[in-house]
């Protein structure tokens, strides 16, 4: 091992602890709880080590680079970490540890004898493989870690594989992730042909942007975009996140999607001044993802599918910032790089806080009510006040309401788009992206007002909601921790400026002429000041209102019932009716919820009935991919005749193949290359 350093040893030890965190459960007695707490302790220990080392790299300039001899082709395994990889390592070491603690109450061994041990093992392997992907700097090592991550996510997400919907979503994810991996194989081969090495390191001034570079970028966009859930590669995401256990969904949405974005950043950092169409294409796809994800989220009746489509929206916001940064590098505009990349990286960190909070909160709601259907909930704030308060913080953060953290990162991206109104081509793209993000933000706000209002406010709409209960401490502590982190991270966001600036420099240091003069989050100070002032005013108004209500004597009695002497829960708005206006105008028709209704007819009509809509499939999957796969399956069906089931026939096939290869070799010998 060459080039070892203390930081490298600590990060490798943290990764090893995460990988081993699921092993105690495999050694413990089946059905007992002997392996649960040791697994959580190992995960938390690895998390603590990894977070300390990542913080030292991100804020104090520590780095490491390790070369390990390898029997694999492609030379030694190169492991390295800079500020960019350290920033993405923070959620990798934070969220899985919280998920391990949460799983003690959400997925205990006693209640899940069949799959609890398997789930803990693959959760640990998933966290470790994500860390390995972020540390790998050679193509072969990266692809191996990437495949381990893909398979670990598959087995963790399909824990409840007895359900047909879970199996179907798992296979769709597996096909999508391996199609993306094929693209990454082609990208790695082209990079090797360009540089003569599998190491992902660029010479001074960056790699050339000649013809192979464009193909490398498109392959990287497809391969990493499929993992990140970027439109139009997102189709696997809603089903996989909805069918997975809630703490697995939290890790996949809060962390694994970001690994795909990291890969895109790492590859583009190798090129000094990329063509402007790279940034333009990514900016357009990012804005389309944000709008598409928000529009589909507004029409969902399943709480986890709504959160999954919201993840597509937030991935689009990050991709928009990265696209703006690429445009800035192409045009030599460091302020575009600073604001676009600074906002994107800040949103990566903040999304890894509020989206796991929402998925863990949704898991607590599902655990307490036994259903994922929004229209069967209601009135949960009285039954689950702590979970409801934390969930409200997450909804405000994902809707980018000040002073929560989601507001500040999105605001930085908006500032970058406004700065881009200075050139004809760039101004046109910014003019498209800025209103698209604004519209997506408005629709997302409506979606989460619907989600929180229908789930937590009003009266219980079913017996399940009426019998809901607050989760235990193991589930409640991670939820409350993430809620507090969302608030504190927003108000103290200027303290993250040095780390974000270091990560931005690590990405752009290969540009021609040296490092760009970046100040990635300079506007954060003013924005955070406004947020703190806004919070102070809110707290002051709340205190004054509380003091006034205490002094006044209020008479209590029934509210005016508008002529309804005995209102029932059926008289409330449902999630379907609340989001009907947005769904009818923005949601694609193939994904729009369809109500099953029986209207009153005749002079003496029977009782009318309206049933909640069934979960809609993704339009891209329903209208394009499934019909395409069906057509190809029918075409290949005739080839089943070749599968005779007799060994002699298969030996004939092998012999025929060998003869054909031999004939091809002889034929090539007759016509040697000139």
- Domain tally, the chain: 1
**Mean pLDDT comparison of 28-42, 460-474, 506-520, 607-621, highest-scoring range:** 460-474
286 and 322 in contact (C-beta within 8 Å)? yes
Residue 200 lies in a domain: no
What mean pLDDT is predicted for residues 130-147?
A: 90
Residue 201 lies in a domain: no
Judged on CB neighbours under 10 Å (0-12, 13-18, 19+), 640 is exposed
Q: Does residue 6 carry a pLDDT above 80?
A: no
Strand partners, 467: none
Q: pLDDT, tens digit, for every residue of 387-406?
A: 999 999 999 999 888 878 88
- What's the rounded Cα separation, in Å, for the pair 615 and 619? 12
C-alpha to C-alpha distances, 7 to 70, 121, 127, 178, 366, nearest whole angstrom? 21, 26, 19, 33, 41
HEC string for 368-412: HHCCCEHHHCCCHHHHCHHHHHHHHHHHHHHCCCCCCHHHHHHHH
- What's the rounded Cα separation, in Å, for the pair 648 and 640? 17
Residue 655 lies in a domain: yes
Residue 550 is predicted with a pLDDT of 62
C-alpha to C-alpha distances, 207 to 62, 123, 151, 200, 497, nearest whole angstrom? 25, 37, 32, 11, 29
* Confidence at 519, pLDDT banded by 50, 70, 90: very low
Residue 669 lies in a domain: yes
Residue 660's domain spans which residues?
A: 644-674
Q: Which of 92, 404, 101 is nearest to 256 (CA)?
A: 92
Residue 311 lies in a domain: no
Q: Is the dihedral of CA 619, 625, 628, 629 positive or negative?
A: negative
* Confidence at 511, pLDDT banded by 50, 70, 90: very low
Contacts 24+ apart (CB under 8 A), 190-194: 190/215, 190/216, 190/219, 191/139, 191/216, 191/267, 191/270, 192/74, 192/139
80 and 64 in contact (C-beta within 8 Å)? yes
What mean pLDDT is predicted for residues 83-97?
A: 92
Judged on CB neighbours under 10 Å (0-12, 13-18, 19+), 617 is middle
Residue 205 is predicted with a pLDDT of 61
Residue 544 lies in a domain: no
Q: pLDDT, tens digit, for every residue of 578-610?
A: 666 666 666 655 455 555 556 667 676 666 665
Residue 261 lies in a domain: no
Residue 267 lies in a domain: no
What mean pLDDT is predicted for residues 61-78?
A: 77
Tracing tokens 């809509």 back to the chain, one arrives at 613
122 and 22 in contact (C-beta within 8 Å)? yes
- What's the rounded Cα separation, in Å, for the pair 44 and 57? 20
What's the chain's average pLDDT?
Answer: 80
């Amino acid at each position: 091992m060459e080039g070892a350093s203390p930081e490298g040893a600590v990060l490798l030890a943290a990764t090893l602890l995460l990988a081993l965190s699921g092993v105690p459960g495999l050694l413990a007695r089946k059905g007992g709880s002997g392996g649960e707490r040791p697994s959580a302790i190992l995960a938390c220990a690895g998390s603590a080590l990894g977070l300390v080392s990542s913080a030292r790299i991100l804020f104090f300039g520590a780095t490491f680079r390790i070369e390990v001899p390898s029997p694999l082709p492609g030379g030694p395994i190169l492991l390295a970490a800079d500020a960019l990889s350290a920033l993405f390592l923070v959620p990798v070491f934070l969220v899985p540890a919280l998920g391990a603690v949460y799983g003690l109450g959400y997925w205990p061994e006693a209640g899940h004898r069949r799959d609890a041990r398997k789930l803990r093992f693959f959760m640990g392997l998933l966290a470790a493989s994500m860390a390995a992907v972020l540390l790998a700097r050679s193509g072969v090592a990266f692809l191996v870690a990437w495949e381990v991550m893909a398979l670990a996510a598959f087995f963790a997400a399909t824990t409840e594989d007895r359900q047909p919907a879970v199996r179907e979503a798992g296979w769709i994810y597996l096909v999508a992730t391996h199609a993306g991996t094929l693209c990454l194989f082609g990208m790695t081969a082209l990079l090797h042909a360009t540089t003569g090495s599998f190491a992902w390191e660029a010479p001074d001034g960056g790699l050339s942007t000649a013809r192979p570079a464009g193909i490398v970028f498109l392959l990287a966009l497809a391969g990493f975009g499929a993992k990140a859930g970027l439109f139009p590669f997102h189709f696997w995401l809603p089903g996989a996140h909805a069918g997975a256990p809630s703490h697995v969904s939290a890790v996949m949405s809060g962390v694994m999607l970001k690994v795909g974005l990291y890969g895109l950043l790492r590859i583009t950092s190798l090129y000094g001044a990329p063509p402007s169409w790279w940034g333009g294409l990514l900016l357009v796809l990012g804005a389309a993802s944000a709008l598409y994800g928000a529009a589909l989220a507004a029409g969902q009746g399943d709480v986890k599918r709504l959160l999954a489509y919201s993840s597509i929206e937030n991935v689009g916001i990050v991709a928009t910032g990265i696209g703006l940064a690429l445009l800035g590098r192409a045009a030599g505009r460091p302020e575009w790089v600073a604001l676009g990349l600074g906002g994107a990286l800040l949103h990566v960190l903040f999304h890894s806080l509020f989206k796991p909070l929402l998925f863990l909160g949704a898991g607590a709601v599902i655990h307490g009510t036994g259903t994922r259907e929004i229209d069967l909930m209601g009135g949960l704030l009285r039954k689950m006040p702590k979970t409801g308060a934390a969930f409200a913080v997450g909804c405000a953060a994902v809707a980018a309401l000040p002073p929560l953290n989601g507001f500040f990162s999105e605001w930085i991206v908006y500032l970058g788009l406004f700065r881009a109104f200075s050139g004809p081509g760039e101004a046109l793209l910014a003019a498209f992206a800025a209103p698209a993000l604004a519209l997506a933000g408005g629709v997302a706000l409506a979606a989460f007002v619907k989600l929180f209002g229908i789930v937590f406010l009003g009266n219980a709409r079913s017996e399940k909601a009426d019998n809901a209960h607050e989760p235990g401490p193991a589930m409640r502590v991670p939820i409350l921790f993430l809620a507090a982190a969302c608030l504190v991270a927003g108000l103290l966001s200027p303290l993250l400026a040095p780390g974000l600036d270091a990560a931005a420099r690590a990405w752009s240091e290969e540009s021609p002429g040296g490092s760009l003069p970046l100040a990635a989050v300079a506007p954060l100070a003013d924005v955070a000041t406004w947020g703190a002032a806004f919070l102070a005013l809110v707290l002051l108004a709340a205190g004054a209102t509380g003091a006034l209500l205490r002094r006044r004597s209020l008479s209590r009695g029934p509210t005016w019932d508008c002529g309804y002497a005995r209102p029932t829960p059926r008289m409330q708005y449902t999630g379907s009716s609340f989001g009907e206006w947005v769904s009818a105008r923005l949601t694609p028709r193939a994904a729009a919820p369809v109500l099953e209704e029986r209207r009153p007819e005749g002079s003496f009509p029977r009782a009318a009935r309206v049933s909640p809509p069934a979960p809609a499939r993704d339009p891209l999957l329903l209208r394009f991919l499934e019909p395409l796969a069906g057509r190809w399956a029918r075409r290949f069906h005739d080839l089943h005749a070749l599968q005779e089931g007799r060994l002699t026939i298969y030996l004939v096939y092998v012999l025929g193949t060998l003869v054909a290869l031999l004939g091809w070799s002889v034929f090539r010998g007759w016509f040697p290359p000139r």
